[in-house]
Structure 1
Amino acid sequence: MTYPTLCSVCNGMESVSASCPSCQGSALDQGKLSDYYGPYSPYRSMDDLKLTNGYADMEQQQCVHYGYCPQCDTAFPFAVQEQALGDGLS
């Protein structure tokens, strides 16, 4: 049985820390990368966005976030593993 998944970071259940790929400094999570695609992207279906964003996030059950490093002014995508709702989160 396949359970629906959710991003515990987007839903405020966990915080995330990311390292900058350029300087290895502490980077800031700026939310879902898909929210930056266009003015209506935050309102589109997540599954629809995952099918068209060019990442393997749908198959790997990941939520791609937008990271920003204030030390070196670098922006980059990083993946957060989603959790199945049937894994004790329901």
Structure 2
Amino acid sequence: MKACALCNGIFQYKGECPECGHSTIDQGRYYDYYDDYSAYMDIEQIQLADGIPNSSCTDNCLHLFSCMNCGQEEGKEIPLNEF
């Protein structure tokens, strides 16, 4: 079974802001911000409408990261791990 290590709390990822260089924090799945019900949708279904070519063919989970200093936001693909 494959699962996202960030979604399941197995590890935390802290990146670096491309604008100011400060730490970024994980805000959760990018898809969860589409509308009120997207957080409850199956990931395979929502990947068909995420606007990323062939995302439904990959084993990645798209997460939103925001800078704690300047507020810059960016999406990062997190590879799913086999558990």
TM-score range, shorter chain: 0.7 to 0.9
What letter corresponds to residue 38 of structure 1 in structure 2? D
Amino acid at match of 1:67: F
Letter in structure 2 aligned against 1:59: C
Distance 1:63 1:35 in 2: 11
For 1:15 and 1:50, the matched residues in 2 are separated by 23
Task: Describe the SS at the equivalent of 2:31.
Answer: helix
* CA RMSD, Structure 1 to Structure 2 (Å): 1.4
What stretches of structure 1 of length at least 5 have no aligned partner? none
1:39 alignment counterpart: 36
CA distance in 1, matches of 2:63, 2:25: 10
Measure how far apart 1:21 and its partner are: 2.2
Unaligned runs of 5+ in 2: none
C-alpha distance in structure 2 between counterparts of 1:58 and 1:83, whole Å: 16
* Structure 1 residue 14, shift from structure 2 partner: 1.3
Aligned residues: 82
- Cα distance, 1:13 vs structure 2: 1.1
Q: In structure 1, what is the Cα distance between the partners aligned to 2:20 and 2:58?
A: 27
1:19 aligns with 2:3: no
**Runs of 4+ with deviation above 3 angstroms:** none
Instruction: Tell me, yes or no, if the aligned pair for 1:57 and 1:64 is still in contact at 8 Å.
Output: no
Q: 1:19 Cα shift?
A: 1.8
